[in-house]
């Protein structure tokens, strides 16, 4: 299995929130090991581990221990993911929760998650609960905080009736308990056996439909295509690309390193790539080409910055490679895009 990822849009939104609270962008980038240009396209993927580092760095640099709660409270999913737009186009809150459960991995993947099974509605003698059933939740309690705050605050924007009447979380009580009570407006139980929100059931029938209904089909089709792309059985080439992408800018990429990360010998990796009609060198070269075109087309980074991001320490070597790929220099290509 490949390592879990998060959408670049989610990471970028957290990054921007932290910067707005006083964190230095360069410090966040260094601590999280995320290249800023990698966040330009919200549908690209960032390693889950890098997002965890970003969250921890953001809390430390802003001096705001409740930052994850505030992230969920203040930044709606529609700002960083098509999943948020799909939720807004849903007919009711109940349908919106179903769409969230179906497509949540487009926002963030977690270990052990199976399609459509992270969130689960369960009824007991106390009422109807929305449970977050991801494994090992206390390894990153901030994910619980942000997810639950985003769900509850999103529902609160639709009406005055509280969405959650009780909150249970598996992690220990933090020093900022008062922020839980302010945001959730419901009793909170810490060190509970599950992560769950007790739902005020009439809210499930509340109308959402914040955009015209026909848009729902458009968003749903796009989200399904992204989901299939994310979950399709990966080729060895795809696994190699996933390994290389977050470290490409370091220039420290090698077939030996990729083989070790994939748990196989160099010879086995060579043989598997050959069976798919490629070599490691070709995979690396074409990945660099694809990303270079993306960076230059976005016009948010310079030619020299693009060279660095795709793993060239020498801009002249990058220019030669780019001319081999496209028949023109990167500067000429960028000027053409500007025109």
- Give the pLDDT confidence of 253-281 residue by residue, as tens digits: 999 999 998 888 999 999 999 998 889 99
Phi, psi of 278 (to 5 degrees): -135, 170
Same structural domain, 184 and 286: no
What does the mean pLDDT of the chain come to?
Answer: 87
Pair 90, 209 in one domain: yes
- Check residues 264 and 294 and name the one with the higher pLDDT: 264
Q: Which residues contact 11 (CB under 8 A, 6 or more apart)?
A: 32, 34, 39, 46, 50, 51, 54
Pair (237, 332) in one structural domain: yes
Residue 274: the pLDDT is: 92
pTM of the model: 0.69
Query: For the segment 21-56, what is each residue's pLDDT rounded down to a tens digit?
Result: 999 999 999 999 988 877 888 888 889 999 999 999
Of 228, 257, 280, which residue sits at a domain end? 228
Within a domain: 53 = no
Domain boundary (179, 199, 228) is at 228
The domain that holds 309 is classified in CATH as 1.10.10.60
Residue 8 is assigned to a structural domain of this protein: no
Distance CA 269, CA 126 (A): 54
Mark whether 196 and 298 lie in a shared domain: no
The verdict on residue 24 lying in a domain is: no
Using a pLDDT cut of 70, give the percent of the chain over it. 91
User: 152-180 burial by CB neighbour count: b if 16+ within 10 A, else e?
Assistant: bbbbbebeeeebbbbbbbbbeeeebeebb
Residue 2 lies in a domain: no
Whether residues 117 and 261 share a domain: the answer is no
- Assigned domain for 1 exists: no
- Do both 145 and 252 map to the same domain? no
User: Could you tell me the two tokens for 184?
Assistant: 């959730």
Range of the domain at 196: 65-228
Domain count, the chain: 2
Q: Which one is predicted more confidently, 303 or 190?
A: 190
Segment among 4-18, 92-106, 162-176 with least mean pLDDT:
92-106
Query: Could you tell me the pLDDT band of residue 1, with boundaries at 50, 70 and 90?
Result: very low
Other Cβ atoms within 10 Å of 265 Cβ, number: 12
302 and 272 both lie in a single domain: yes
In a domain, 185, yes or no: yes
32, 62 contact by CB (below 8 A): no
pLDDT band at 61 (very low <50, low <70, confident <90, very high): very high
125 SS3 class: coil
Map residue 196 onto helix, strand or coil: strand
Cα 32 to Cα 25: distance, rounded to the nearest angstrom: 11
Q: CA-to-CA distance for 106 and 5, rounded, in angstroms? A: 9
| Start-to-end Cα distance in the chain | 44
Angstrom distance (rounded) from CA 242 to CA 237: 9
Burial class (CB in 10 A: 0-12, 13-18, 19+), 142: buried
Pairing type for strands 164-168 and 188-189 reads parallel
Q: In the β-sheet with 188-189, what is the strand arrangement from edge to edge?
A: 119-124, 127-132, 195-199, 164-168, 188-189
Residue 59 lies in a domain: no
Q: What is the pLDDT of residues 313-331, one digit of tens each?
A: 899 999 999 888 888 888 8
Asked which of 228, 248, 265 is the last residue of a domain, the reply is 228
Band of pLDDT at residue 74, cut at 50, 70 and 90:
very high
- Residue whose entry in the numeric block shows the structure tokens 């220990």: 172
Same domain assignment for residues 204 and 313: no
Helix and strand numbers (H, E) in the chain are 16, 7
The residue with tokens 């179906």 is 102
Q: How far apart are CA 27 and CA 34, in angstroms?
A: 11
On whether both 141 and 281 belong to a single domain, the answer is no
pLDDT band at residue 113 under the 50/70/90 scheme? low
pLDDT of residue 337 exceeding 60: no
Q: Are residues 187 and 244 in the same domain?
A: no
Task: Identify whether 144 is part of a domain.
Answer: yes
Residues 94 and 139 in one domain: yes
Whether residue 284 is found in the same domain as residue 136: no
């Amino acid at each position: 299995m490949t390592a879990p990822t998060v959408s670049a849009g989610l990471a970028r939104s957290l990054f921007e929130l932290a910067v707005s609270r006083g964190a230095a962008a360069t410090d966040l980038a260094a601590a999280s090991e995320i290249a800023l240009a990698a966040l330009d396209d919200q549908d690209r993927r960032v390693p889950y581990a890098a997002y965890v580092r970003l969250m921890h760095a953001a809390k430390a640099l802003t001096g705001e221990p409740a930052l994850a709660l505030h992230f969920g409270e203040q930044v709606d999913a529609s700002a960083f993911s098509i999943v948020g737009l799909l939720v807004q186009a849903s007919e009711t809150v109940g349908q919106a929760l179903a769409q969230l459960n179906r497509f949540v991995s487009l926002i963030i993947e977690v270990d052990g998650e199976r399609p459509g099974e992270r969130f689960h509605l369960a009824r007991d003698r106390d009422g109807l609960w929305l449970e977050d059933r991801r494994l090992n939740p206390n390894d990153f309690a901030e994910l619980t905080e942000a997810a639950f705050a985003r769900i509850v605050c999103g529902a609160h924007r639709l009406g005055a009736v509280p969405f959650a009447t009780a909150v249970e979380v598996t992690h220990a009580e933090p020093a900022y308990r008062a922020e839980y009570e302010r945001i959730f407006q419901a009793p909170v139980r810490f060190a509970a056996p599950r992560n769950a929100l007790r739902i005020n059931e009439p809210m499930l029938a509340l109308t959402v439909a914040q955009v015209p209904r026909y848009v729902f089909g458009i968003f749903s089709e796009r989200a399904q295509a992204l989901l299939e792309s994310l979950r399709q059985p990966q080729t060895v080439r795809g696994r190699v690309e996933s390994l290389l992408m977050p470290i490409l800018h370091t220039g420290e990429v090698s077939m030996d390193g990729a083989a070790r990360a994939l748990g196989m010998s160099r010879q086995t990796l060579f043989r598997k790539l050959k069976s798919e009609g490629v070599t490691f060198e070709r995979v690396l070269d074409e990945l660099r080409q694809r990303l270079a075109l993306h960076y230059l087309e976005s016009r948010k980074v310079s030619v020299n910055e693009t060279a660095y991001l795709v793993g060239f320490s020498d801009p002249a070597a990058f220019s030669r490679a780019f001319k081999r790929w496209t028949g023109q220099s990167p500067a000429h290509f960028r000027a053409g895009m500007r025109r």
